Chains A and B, each alone.
Chain A
Amino acid sequence: MAAPPRALERLSLGVLTVADAVCNRLYGWRYNPLYQSGTIVTALLLVLLVTGLWLIFFYRVSAPYASVARITADPWFGNWVRAVHRYASDAAIVAIAAHAFRMFAQGRSWGPRALAWMSGVFLLLLTLVSGWTGYVMVWDVFGEALAREGARMLDALPILSEPISRAFTGERPLPSVFFFLNLFAHVAIPLSMLMVLWLHTSRLARPTLLPPRPVLWALIVALIVLSVARPIAMAEEANPLRVAADVPADWFYAFWLPISRSLGGGAALGGAALTLVALLLIPLATKRRGEAAPPKSVVDEAICTGCRQCSIDCPYEAIAMLSRTDGRADEVARVNPELCVSCGICAGSCAPMGVGPPGRSGRDQLERVRAFIARPERRAGELVVICCDRGAGRFQRDLEAEGAVIYPVDCAGSLHTSVIELLVRSGSAGVLTLACPTRDCWNREGPTWLYERVYHDREAELKARVDRDRVKIGFANASEPHVARALLAEFKAQLARAKQPVAEAGLAIDTECEPVPASEES
Chain B
Amino acid sequence: MRLALRAAGVAIAFGLLLAMTWASTAPLRVTTSDDAIVRLSLGARPERIETCRTQSDEELEKVAPQMRQRVICEGVTARYRLSVRRNGQLLYEQVVRGGGLRHDRRLYVSRDLHVRPGPGVVAVDLVRIDTVVARGEEEEEEEEEEEEEEHERREHREREDQLPGVVMPGRRQREAEERERRRVEDVPAELHLEVEAVLEARDVLLVTYDPVGRRLVSTQRDRGR
Binding site for B on A (CB under 8 A): 23, 25-28, 33, 86-87, 90-91, 94, 141-142, 145, 155, 158, 161-163, 165-166, 169-171, 218, 222-223, 225-226, 229-230, 232-233, 239-252, 254, 257-258, 261
A94-B20, A162-B106, A252-B24 given as contacts; is B206 within 8 A of A170 (CB)? yes
Contact B24 A251 (CB under 8 A): yes
Q: Of all chain B residues, which has the CB nearest A162?
A: B108
B interface size (C-beta, 8 A)? 41
Contact A249 B204 (CB under 8 A): no
Contact B29 A246 (CB under 8 A): yes
Minimum C-beta distance from B222 to chain A (A): 8
Contact B101 A158 (CB under 8 A): yes
Contact A249 B28 (CB under 8 A): yes
Contact B26 A248 (CB under 8 A): yes
Name the interface residues of B1-36: CB closer than 8 Å to any CB of A.
5-6, 8-9, 12-14, 17-18, 20-21, 23-31, 34
A169 CA to B225 CA in the complex, in Å?
17
Instruction: Across the A-B interface, give the 9 residue pairs with the lowest CB-CB distance, nearest first.
Output: A26-B9, A161-B99, A249-B28, A241-B221, A169-B41, A243-B202, A161-B105, A246-B27, A241-B204
Contact B5 A90 (CB under 8 A): no
Pick the contact of A165 from B14, B101, B110 — CB < 8 Å? B110
B126 at the interface (CB under 8 A from A): no
Contact B206 A26 (CB under 8 A): no
A161 CA to B17 CA in the complex, in Å?
45
Q: Of all chain B residues, which has the CB nearest A94?
A: B20
**Interfacial chain A residues near B24, Cβ < 8 Å:** 86-87, 90, 250-252
Minimum C-beta distance from A301 to chain B (A): 51
**Interfacial chain A residues near B14, Cβ < 8 Å:** 222, 225-226
A33-B13, A170-B39 given as contacts; is B20 within 8 A of A163 (CB)? no
**Interfacial chain B residues near A155, Cβ < 8 Å:** 110
A170-B219, A222-B14 given as contacts; is B28 within 8 A of A258 (CB)? yes
A25-B5, A163-B110, A222-B14 given as contacts; is B23 within 8 A of A170 (CB)? no
Contact B204 A242 (CB under 8 A): yes
A229 CA to B17 CA in the complex, in Å?
11
**Interfacial chain B residues near A233, Cβ < 8 Å:** 25
Pick the contact of B23 from A161, A229, A246, A252 — CB < 8 Å? A252
**Interfacial chain A residues near B213, Cβ < 8 Å:** none
Pick the contact of B28 from A163, A239, A242, A247 — CB < 8 Å? A247
Name the interface residues of B159-174: CB closer than 8 Å to any CB of A.
none
A169 CA to B42 CA in the complex, in Å?
10
Minimum C-beta distance from B110 to chain A (A): 5
A91 CA to B14 CA in the complex, in Å?
12
Minimum C-beta distance from B151 to chain A (A): 36
Contact B221 A161 (CB under 8 A): no
Q: Of all chain B residues, which has the CB nearest A31?
A: B9
**Interfacial chain B residues near A248, Cβ < 8 Å:** 25-28
Pick the contact of A166 from B34, B105, B108 — CB < 8 Å? B108
**Interfacial chain B residues near A222, Cβ < 8 Å:** 13-14, 17
B100 at the interface (CB under 8 A from A): yes
B203 at the interface (CB under 8 A from A): yes
Contact A239 B221 (CB under 8 A): yes
**Interfacial chain B residues near A27, Cβ < 8 Å:** 6, 9
B43 at the interface (CB under 8 A from A): yes
8 additional A-B pairs beyond A169-B110, A170-B204, A171-B41, beta carbons within 8 Å, are A91-B17, A163-B108, A222-B14, A225-B14, A240-B204, A241-B204, A245-B30, A251-B23
Contact A26 B8 (CB under 8 A): yes
**Interfacial chain B residues near A242, Cβ < 8 Å:** 202-204, 221, 225
Which residue of B9, B21, B37, B99 has the most chain A CB atoms within 10 A of its CB atom? B21
Q: Of all chain B residues, which has the CB nearest A91?
A: B20
Contact B28 A26 (CB under 8 A): no
B220 at the interface (CB under 8 A from A): yes
B208 at the interface (CB under 8 A from A): yes
Pick the contact of B21 from A169, A230, A261 — CB < 8 Å? A230
Q: Of all chain A residues, which has the CB nearest B21?
A: A230
Contact A251 B101 (CB under 8 A): no
Contact B204 A226 (CB under 8 A): no
Contact A161 B100 (CB under 8 A): yes
